[in-house]
Amino acid sequence: MYTYERPKVEYKGLSLTIVRLATKWGGIGIPLALRFAWGIFLAAIVIVVAFVWVVGRFINPLLPWFIRDLVIVVGMLGFLSVVAIIGIWAERKVSGRIQSRLGPMRSGAWHGWAQSLADGLKFVQKEDVIPSAADQPLFRLAPYVTLVPAFCAYLALPFGVGWVFRDGDVSLLFVLAMLALEVLGVIMAGWASNSKWSLYGAMREACQLVSYEIPMGLSLLAAVLAVGSLSLTQLGQAQAGGWFSWLIFQNPFVFLAFFTYYIASLASCKRAPFDLPEGESELVAGFHTEYSGFRFVMFFFAEYAGMFAVSALATIIFLGGWHSPVGGPSSPLWFVLKSTFLVWTQMWVRWTLPRIRIDQVMHACVKYLLPLTLLLFVGSSWWQLMDSPFHPVFAGFANVLHYGLGVVGLLLVGLYFAEVGYGYYNRNRLVGPMVRRHLPGA
Amino acid sequence: MLEMTMFFLFAFLSVAAGVAILLSTNIVRMAFWLITMLVAVAGLYFLMGAYFLGVIQILVYVGGVAVLLVFGVMLTSRRLAPTLRPGRGEAVWLTLVGAVLLVGLVLSTLQAHWQQQVAPAANSAADIGRSLLGDFLGPFELASVLLLVAMLGAAYLARPKTPTQGLPHTKGTTP
């Protein structure tokens, strides 16, 4: 009988060697560090506190605050890198599973978890190519102009009560402004590359972003009207108390505004079906065609940071922020969980829907999304006027509708989980496992 | 001290970017210098504590107007980077107008009686909204009418020059 022997593949290259060494020594080092984790953690806290006390007492009283800010900024950068690294790996796994493939499996021990790290190492070793016809200073500047605003958006995002770097009256607008600044880097990159593919990508990005910014802002405003504050902390705190007090179920206009916001945010993150600026099948790689090495990585980081930022905005404004759906204690973990779910939905949409044409993108915005969000905005403000003790009949109706919308939301979530369960139960009927079962040696 | 440093940083950046707009000959570079200047001015607003104004400056001017400007430049210029140089006659006129404007600004700055007191700042969005829809409702509505006229004008200018039946991408341009 024929037995299938798995061919032995020798992996070569510095990056894979480094990853293999890291996983090998990490396998010894990480459990050791975990065993003494609490000790290390407490010792670090004691050392930092002692250092800050000495500095504040004897050197400069303002310096501890500066050090605190520095530590938070560095931590935030770390969080952003983790989001991007896990996001890129997850995107490939999700795309693989949706297309009935396995996705990355080799780097690292478990399901190719180190794939992004290996890629990062590879990119660092790449030559930093700058085309001779490119506009040098702008070409070099563009990745920073894309990444830095995406990072700045996180400075005003609250992860929970008190879990925010700088809390302000207008933090919602600040986050939106920073996300709008990100466009600039993309346009700069596309223009400075001096390549027609890049320029097409940049022009698509410019017209798409400027159009979709308006429905995005207006649908957020429809929800903001119900609270009457532009501070993200207050918006989140206004939704304490479980599922039915989330802003999305407040009235039907806000319920629809969540979906219009979600569509517009897909466009603002250049995610499919609106990923025309990148357009791999038509524009090579769109605005970052000419970029290589670490500059290319920075565009990727900015994209994943932006994805998480818009999902975080949706979480804070519509989905109850850091409050748990069942009314338990609120925690930043809930916030991260809900935002991650929205990021996963973005990936799901990307690998499900085909890309639409640029004229369809503009028609969808100007003819349908923009009038709809204007209507939602007016409707939401009208609802705020009517839903008052002066109109008892309407207030009763609004209350009934509010709970009805909550039940609709519950049904949607239930449907999602039912479908997930159905898919898991019938996973062997998918094409991939069916093919794999008939392979020799299976 | 820190505030002073930040002020001079932003002020220097905005002035330098403004001069750079004038000195550069590449129109897209000019647009990016303009954006630098707008961001620096937004930084000055932040420094003054007018957070709403600063954020709106970035959101509207940088994220909207400047992006549209760059877009328009990229769309209309035949070559990727047209160089702009004023002619000799233009230079004389521009110098004259610029000099008059500069003298006027400097004189009005020197002549004005600056009040050394803290004005009640309309910091929060609520204050600004109340004054826009209260004391300044007339100018606000006039501005919106002006913008509407500008939008109609732009639509008129951008209309297809040949008469078409139906949408151009569905039926073609035959009359």
Residue A81 in any domain: the answer is no
**pLDDT at residue A238, as a whole number:** 85
Contact (CB<8Å) A210/B56:
no
- Judged by average pLDDT, the poorest of A61-75, A177-191, A303-317, A404-418 is A61-75
Cβ–Cβ gap B28/A207 under 8 Å: no
A104 to chain B, closest Cα gap in Å: 37
Is residue A1's pLDDT more than 80? Answer: no
The answer to whether B33 touches B10, Cβ cutoff 8 Å, is no
User: Is residue A185 in some structural domain?
Assistant: yes
Segment 194-223 of chain A within 8 Å of chain B by CB: 194, 199, 202-203, 206-207, 209-210, 213
Query: Of the candidates A169, A207, A359, which has its C-beta nearest B71's C-beta?
Result: A207
A181 contacts in B (CB within 8 Å)? Answer: 39, 58, 62-63
Residue A330 in this model has a pLDDT that exceeds 90: no
ipTM reported for the complex surpasses 0.85: no
What number is the average pLDDT over the span A89-108?
Answer: 82
Determine, for residues A138 and B29 on separate chains, whether the beta-carbon distance falls below 8 Å: yes
Domain-located, residue A431:
no
What is the number of structural domains in chain A? 1
Considering the domain boundaries, does residue A127 fall inside one? yes
Whether residue A316 is contained in a domain is answered as yes
pLDDT at B171 over 50: no
pLDDT in tens, A206-265: 888 888 888 998 999 888 888 888 888 888 888 887 888 888 888 889 999 999 999 999
- C-alpha distance from B80 to closest chain A C-alpha (Å): 8
Tens of pLDDT, residues B102-132: 999 999 988 887 776 665 555 677 788 888 8
Arithmetic mean of pLDDT, A176-183: 87
- Residues spanned by the domain of A147: 118-386
Nearest CB to A209 within list B67, B123, B125? B67
A176 in a structural domain: yes
**Which of A138, A181, A194 is facing B62, going by the closest CB pair?**
A181
List beta partners, residue B83: B26
pLDDT band at A182 (very low <50, low <70, confident <90, very high): confident
Query: pLDDT at residue B100 above 80?
Result: yes
- Asked whether the beta carbons of A213 and A268 are under 8 A apart, the reply is yes
Within a domain: A374? yes
- Render A320-335 in DSSP notation, one character per residue: -TTS-TTS----HHHH
Residues of chain B in Cβ contact (below 8 Å) with chain A? 28-29, 32, 35, 39, 51-52, 55-56, 58-59, 62-64, 66-68, 70-71, 74-75, 80-81, 123-125, 169
Place of tokens 């050791």: A32
User: Is residue A313 very low, low, confident or very high in pLDDT (cuts 50, 70, 90)?
Assistant: very high
Percent of chain B exceeding pLDDT 90 equals 17
Nearest to B125 among A138, A170, A213 (CB): A170
- Flag whether residue A86 sits within 8 Å of chain B, measured between CB atoms: no
> Are B81 and A169 in contact (CB < 8 Å)?
no
Q: What is the SS3 assignment for chain A?
A: CCCCCCCCCCCCCHHHHHHHHHHHHHHHHHHHHHHCHHHHHHHHHHHHHHHHHHHHHHHCCCHHHHHHHHHHHHHHHHHHHHHHHHHHHHHHHHHHHHCCCCCCCCCCCCCCCCHHHHHHHHHHHCCCCCCCCCCHHHHHHHHHHHHHHHHHHHHCCCCCCCCCCCCCCCHHHHHHHHHHHHHHHHHHHHHHCCCHHHHHHHHHHHHHHHHHHHHHHHHHHHHHHHHCCCCHHHHHHCCCCCHHHCHHHCCHHHHHHHHHHHHHHHHHCCCCCCCCCCCCCCCCCHHHCCCCHHHHHHHHHHHHHHHHHHHHHHHHHCCCCCCCCCCCCCCHHHHHHHHHHHHHHHHHHHCCCCCCCHHHHHHHHHHHHHHHHHHHHHHHHHHHHHCCCCCHHHHHHHHHHHHHHHHHHHHHHHHHHHHHHHHHHCHHHCHHHHHHHCCCCC
List chain A residues with CB under 8 Å of B41: none
On the question of pLDDT at B78 being above 60, the answer is no
Residues from chain A contacting residue B64 (CB–CB below 8 Å): 180, 210, 213
Q: Which residue of B has its CA nearest to A184?
A: B67
Q: Hey, are the CB atoms on A191 and B74 less than 8 Å from each other?
A: yes
Give the Cα-Cα-Cα angle A330, A331, A334 (nearest 5 degrees). 95
Residues A111-139 have a mean pLDDT of: 82
Q: DSSP string of A261-301?
A: HHHHHHHHTT-TTS-TTT-TTTSTTGGGTT--HHHHHHHHH
pLDDT tops 90 at residue A133: no
Is residue B83 classed as helix, strand or coil in its secondary structure?
strand
Disruptive mutation site among A184, A188, A356, A366 for chain B (greatest number of B CBs within 10 Å): A184
pLDDT at residue A342, rounded to an integer:
92
Q: Torsion angle, CA of B149/B152/B158/B164, rounded to 10 degrees?
A: -160
**Cβ <8 Å between B64 and A213:** yes
Q: Nearest-CA distance from B172 to chain A in Å?
A: 15
- Report CB contact under 8 Å: B55, A174: yes
Question: Which chain A residues in 160-189 lie under 8 Å from chain B, judged by CB atoms?
Answer: 168-170, 173-174, 176-178, 180-181, 183-184, 187-188
Chain A residue numbers touching B34 (CB-CB < 8 A): none
Q: Residues of B with CB below 8 A from A177's CB?
A: 55-56, 58-59, 62-63
Q: How confident is the model at residue B73 (pLDDT cuts 50, 70, 90)?
A: confident
Cβ-Cβ contacts under 8 Å, A207 against chain B: 71
Of B62, B10, B3, nearest to B32 (Cα)? B62
Tell me the pTM: 0.81
Q: Which residues of B touch A178 (CB under 8 A)?
A: 58
Q: Which of A104, A100, A210, A83 is nearest to A150 (CA)?
A: A83
Residue A408: inside a domain, yes or no? no
Checking if the pLDDT of A14 tops 80, the result is no
